Amino acid sequence: MFPRARLGRPRRRPDAMLGDKGYGSHAHRDELRHRRILPVISRKGSPNIKGIGKPRYVVEQTFALFHDCKRLAVRRERRTELHGAFISLACALICCRRLKQCRS
């Protein structure tokens, strides 16, 4: 019998990683370069990278929407399956609310 393949799409390495200044240490940058991923991270004490605002806004807005669900604001579940299930439920609720807004 052959081993089962993993379900889902095959994993693909990202070309670049967008990060906060908190992840701008040399260790994080070196690790990303080691994995052949371009780090797009502002350095501490320097002005923000221009043009990075739109993608960051999407990420921050998504986190803000997740934090509307109080249970996800502070992770209380010890099991990752339960936390993943609550994230999926929150995504469904967010999509439902957005669709209702678009219809009205």
CB–CB of 39/33 below 8 Å? yes
| pTM higher than the cut 0.75 | no
Sign of the alpha-carbon dihedral angle for 27, 33, 36, 42: positive
One digit per residue, the tens of pLDDT, for the chain of length 104 reads 556 667 777 778 888 888 877 788 899 899 999 999 998 887 777 666 666 666 667 777 877 888 787 777 777 778 888 888 888 888 888 888 888 887 76
Sign of the alpha-carbon dihedral angle for 57, 25, 78, 81: positive
